[in-house]
Structure 1
Amino acid sequence: MSGPADSAVSRPGATGLLVAGTTSDAGKSLVVTGLCRAFVRRGLDVVPYKAQNMSNNSGVCADGAEIGRAQILQAQAARREPTSAMNPVLLKPGTDRRAHVVVRGRPAGVLEAGQYATGRRHLAEAAWAAYEELESAHDLVVCEGAGSSAEINLRAGDYVNLGLARRFDLPVVVVGDIDRGGVLAALYGTVALLEPEDRALVRTFVVNKFRGDPSVLAPGLTEITRRTGVPFAGVLPWLDGVWLDAEDSLEVGAWRRSVRSGAEGARLRVAVVRLPRVSNATDVEALAAEPGVEVLVTTDPEVVAGADLAVLPGTRATFSDLAWLRRTGIAAAVLDRVGREAPVLGICGGYQMLGLRVEDPAGVEADVGSSAGVAVDGLGLLPVVTRFAVEKSLGRPAGSWRGHAVQAYEIHHGRAERAASADATTFPEPVEGFLDGWRVGSTWGTVWHGALENDAFRRAWLVEVAAAAGSSWTPAPDAVAYGARREAMIDTLADAVEEHLDLDLLLAETRVASSRAVAR
């Protein structure tokens, strides 16, 4: 079942290692993040790599390349500037059967569901070239697999999991999530499903998210090793309070535990609308990290209506998600909020929905509820008309609001421009600029992602939101900066990796171990 690109490249010791998983969301991304920081502490020049990422949560590198947010985080852990080589192929789902393809940070067409197993050879070649670029410049490449490493239906065209490992002769560590149950069966079954050549590359297992006494688990680990011949590199504990960049999910545990103020009246309640094709949901993580701010991700119009602040986040499908807002009653809840002067924030696609009109003359969203030449009315709350263009805007803009510096990034096809018809009759309240977008009354909209990660801006803006909402919330004087909080979480991960995993075992077959043996 191996593919034609699987032939291994001979090397004196592997140039990296692959962190694969029994399932999606087994913890691969966080394990790679922790390993990168742990290896940096050992003095290694290490970089992260994910051949293909399927996610609508992405960011922008310094050169304007778009890659997955998880790889940007891992680059931070490795103390490296993120580059497109770290995530050479990014698939952004538009529908259940089509994904928009980004290669080396730039748009590169679409991939249909029927092409997923057989139509990706050109993507594999781009991924191989990126890996070779990284391996030639660094001591070690820590690779992250995708989904399950035992998806045998996709093995023939695989270049992310065992296809990658076979190509570059990488030792593989398989991570299983014990919190979801059945981890021993999942680890054993993963190895059992692999063809012999792939199975030979699985060198270690890691159990993730364990709660309790590890001695209770030990007999099971011993038996799995006896049956498979694969030793365990360790058992990572459940790490409460570590909730770094998910790839595609808004169900981040920290948001369910985000209220840190003891006084009910000091809470600021934020409702984030979970759009069907939500993208860059990570924009609101900085709100969840703020003491006294309660963030709830919801599809309930009543929750949207009753919160102090309602947020429409980004979307990969502005037209279909706008129709969904109307169909579910959430659009009516947003309009009711504005009638009561209750705060609303739209970010990127959410901002476009708040405008007067959305037009797609080129059919950019033809696969997700739009078609060439289509135009629909927005919610009419901000004085902009959005027109989609084939060329994507990618950048890292900087600006300010009320004297507070803001650094952000932008990823969008839609250009939102002030409408000529938006006069004082249409918008009787004062209209002012807001982070390359607009504000009317208590309704704000911006195309910038990541703006809320700027501490001074975020807190000053939330004070204004709280005042408009009638909340007594104020920033906690001892609140940790968002960037410092993220660094602390990375270090917490690395501490756990160093304490609970056998790093020498993980490195045993890499050129790092080979070079040290020669030096000795």
Structure 2
Amino acid sequence: MATCLMFLGTGSDVGKSIATTAFCRIFKRRGFRVAPFKAQNMSNNSYVTLEGGEIGRAQVVQAEAAGLLPSVDMNPILLKPSYDQAAQVIVRGKVATQLSAMEYHNYKNELKQTVMESFNKLAEQYDVIVMEGAGSCCEMNLKDNDLVNFEMAKAAGARCILVADIDRGGVFAQIIGTYNLMEKEEKDLIIGFLINKFRGDPRLFDSGIKYIEEKTGKPVLGLVPFFEDIYIDTEDSVAVQVDRRPPKELADDTVNIAVPKLPAISNFTDLEILEREPDVVLNYLSRANQLTDEYDWIILPGTKNVMSDARWIKQKGWARAIKDFAARGKFVLGICGGYQLLGSRVYDPHGVESDKGKEIKCLGLLPVTTILEKEKVVQKVTGTSILTGSRLRGYEIHMGRTTAVRSSGQPFARIHVPGKKKQWEDGWVSEDGRIMGTYIHGVLDSPGFRGEILNRIRISKGLKPRKPRQGRLGRFKQYDRLADHFEKYCDVERILGQMGL
């Protein structure tokens, strides 16, 4: 059976996912067969595995860092918040049910066997499992039904590192407070602490490390500086929603892209490749009045609840702003739920996202309508853009069926499942080619398509065309850079020693 290392957190978004990714790469580079594991993830940022299952994006990144193809066993339970306090429950890659927070709390015990089956399958195949907890490991009101933190660590016999985020402040309370909430058996699993997102001169924190170690009797195993030049997919939309930085400055010689911060935004990593183009400025906007004429392109990303987000864009003035933007000849792209929003109406006869029988009016920028269905489409796809002739590759995750109701325009792409002959047409494009909608997540990762659309915008502004930057394959170099960063600032040899490796 595998030796296990688990990263637990003092809270959400402290760096558990990125530490897990780094150590997957570190172990791989040292010759270990290593795999990631997170028993339960809550995220609307998901991905389709080769098995045709849906898992959290963070575990995909961790698998790639470990040199593996992602598998549903790496994230057997995925919760996708949908509306109010409800979430879609994905079990081993497939939709199982939709439950409220309280219903899920009572349902957890039924999932423990599934979690352990997935874990044991991995533990039999690999030398090392790098595990990730969820949120705070010491939520006292939730510990009785714990599925992902200390109960999982105990079941796996994992050595644990507690991760804290010094950038948000209160790191002493984070670490010492969390540690003091642990029971003796839990404290015995902790081999030390990792302090993440440090800024400044580390010598100024020497006394801080000494204080933590004296108060807990456990070592600080890493003081990891904040980085901004290593590009790793962000785990969840929380990073977008809580980002309070002002929008980046727009210029006449840049391609300026606006993205509305939809309340149920999902799979926003579809857009991250654009930010790596040197002359692209991409801003997530909170208010409709921020969509000025300086922007060239608006992209509506995926949404976990198109019904509620359709109401939101109307109530907040976005509907009028987007229609006016399109009327001025600007470029518009909708991906998945964003594509559905570009159509005329969405119908929900089965109550997938609302009360049964409801329908809602959308933007009407494309002549399509959507019917939400009970069965989710989850599959990898490849094909060709009808608009540009570019090769496309990506994946579909959606609950709707969208059809054209008028012949104005043309389909976006002709696609098929890799290895299968059956083809079908996806999405829709306006007659002038400026308004586009597609179900293909990852469509912008295809350099030919991305480069063609960006060059159309550049030419319309009187700018010179450019070759697109390297696609997502460049991310594999980033995993090595991340591992280098953590190796430099963590006591990796001591961690290995504590694991008996």
Asked if 1:412 corresponds to 2:412, the answer is: no
Q: Which amino acid aligns with 2:499?
A: T
1:496 — aligned with what? 485
Which residue type is aligned with residue 494 of structure 1? A
Letter in 1 for 2:46: S
Match of 2:419 in 1: none
Structure 2: how far apart are the matches of 1:107 and 1:245?
24
Q: Residues 91 and 102 of structure 1 are in contact (CA less than 8 Å); yes or no, is this contact kept in structure 2?
A: yes
Deviation at 1:265, TM superposition (A): 2.7
Q: Aligned partners of 1:174, 1:201: CA distance in 2, in Å?
A: 10
Q: What residue is the counterpart of 1:298 in the other structure?
A: 285
Listed as ranges, the gaps of 5+ residues in structure 2 are: 415-425
Q: How does 1:222-371 map to 2 (within 5 A)?
A: 222-249=210-237, 251=239, 264-306=251-293, 307-365=295-353, 370-371=354-355
3-state DSSP of counterpart to 1:119:
helix
CA contact (8 A) 2:392 2:443 kept: yes
Q: Is 1:474 aligned with 2:465?
A: yes
C-alpha displacement of 1:399? 1.0
Structure 1 runs not aligned, ≥5 long: 1-10, 514-520
What is the rounded CA distance, in whole Å, between the counterparts of 2:491 and 2:247 in structure 1?
33
The amino acid across from 2:356 in the alignment is A
Deviation at 1:291, TM superposition (A): 1.0
Q: 1:3: which partner in 2? A: none
Residues 412 and 438, structure 2, Cα contact 8 Å, conserved in 1: no
Question: 2:45·2:269 contact (CA, 8 Å) conserved in 1?
Answer: yes
**Corresponding residue of 1:460:** 452
Aligned-partner Cα distance in 1 for 2:122–2:445: 29
CA displacement 1:65-88 (0-9 Å, x = unmatched): 100111101111000000000011
- The aligned counterpart of 2:428 is 438
How many Å separate the matches in 2 of 1:255 and 1:465?
A: 28
Residue in 1 that maps onto 2:421: none
CA contact (8 A) 1:265 1:471 kept: no
> Structure 1's 218 and 117: CA in aligned 2 closer, same or farther, altered over 3 A?
farther
Instruction: Indicate if the aligned counterparts of 1:305 and 1:333 stay in contact, CA closer than 8 A.
Output: no
Does the C-alpha gap of structure 1 residues 376 and 96 become closer, same or farther in structure 2, counting only changes over 3 Å? closer
Q: Does the CA-based 8 Å contact 1:206-1:233 persist in structure 2?
A: yes
The secondary structure found in structure 1 opposite 2:82 is strand
Shift of 1:258: 10
Is 1:409–1:448's contact at 8 Å kept on the other side of the alignment? Answer: yes
Aligned AA (1:433): F
Compared CA separation, residues 321 and 457, structure 1 to 2 (3 A): same
Q: CA deviation at 1:243?
A: 4.3
**What residue is the counterpart of 2:164 in the other structure?**
176
1:153 partnered with 2:144: no
Letter in 2 for 1:295: L
Alpha-carbon distance between aligned partners in 1 of 2:71 and 2:473, rounded to the nearest angstrom: 22
User: How far 1:504 sits from its partner (Å)?
Assistant: 2.7
Kindly tell me: are residues 506 and 257 of structure 1, through their superposed partners in 2, closer, same or farther at Cα, counting changes over 3 Å? farther
* Alignment pair present for 1:84 and 2:84: no
Once the two structures are superposed, what CA deviation does each residue of 1:447-486 show, in whole Å capped at 9, x if it has no partner?
A: 1101111122211121123445x362632x5x64132442
Give deviations 1:16-70, integer Å, cap 9, x for gaps: 1110111111011111111111111100100011111100000001111100111
Alpha carbon RMSD of aligned pairs, Å? 2.2
2:389 is aligned, of 382, 403, 409, to: 403
Partner of 2:420: none
* Aligned-pair CA distance for 1:320: 0.9
DSSP 3-state at the match of 1:504: helix
The answer to whether the 8 A contact 2:179-2:216 is kept is yes
Question: In structure 1, the residue corresponding to 2:58 is in which secondary structure?
Answer: helix
Q: Which residue of 2 aligns with 1:517?
A: none
> Paired residue for 2:439?
447
SS in structure 1 opposite 2:27?
Answer: helix
Number of aligned residue pairs? 484
Provide Cα deviations, 1:250-279, integer angstroms capped at 9, x if missing partner.
64699979979xx94320110001101111
1 CA distance for matches of 2:134 and 2:264? 20
Is the contact made by 1:255 and 1:288 (CA closer than 8 Å) also made in structure 2?
Answer: no
User: Following TM superposition, by how much is the alpha carbon of 1:335 offset from its aligned partner in structure 2, in angstroms?
Assistant: 0.9
Higher RCO by CA contacts (8 Å cutoff, separation 6 or greater)? 1
Structure-1-length-normalised TM-score: 0.89
- Which residue, 78, 94, 99 being the options, matches 1:111? 99
In 1, Cα distance between equivalents of 2:255 and 2:181:
50
**Identity of matched residues, %:** 40
* In structure 2, distance between residues paired with 1:234 and 1:467: 49
Contact residue 310 and residue 361 of structure 2 kept, 8 A: no
1:390 is displaced (CA, Å) by 0.6
Mean Cα deviation higher: 158-167 or 119-128 = 119-128
1:56·1:247 contact (CA, 8 Å) conserved in 2? no
2:246 and 2:279 map into 1 onto residues whose CA distance is 11
Q: Any conservation in 2 of the 1:434–1:444 contact (CA below 8 Å)? A: no
Deviates more, 1:263-272 or 1:326-335: 263-272
The one of 126, 135, 142 equivalent to 1:138 is: 126
TM-score (norm 2): 0.92
Distance 2:104 2:175 in 1: 25
Structure 1's 169 and 89: CA in aligned 2 closer, same or farther, altered over 3 A?
same
1:206-242: CA deviations, max 9, x gaps? 1111122222111121221122111111211111223
Instruction: Answer with 185-194 or 122-131: which moved more.
Output: 122-131
> Structure 1 residues 94 and 298 mapped into 2: Cα distance closer, same or farther (>3 Å)?
same
Please tell me whether residue 506 in structure 1 is matched to residue 485 in structure 2: no
How big is each residue's C-alpha offset from its partner over 1:481-511, in whole Å with a ceiling of 9 and x where there is no partner? 1324422322221001211212232233436
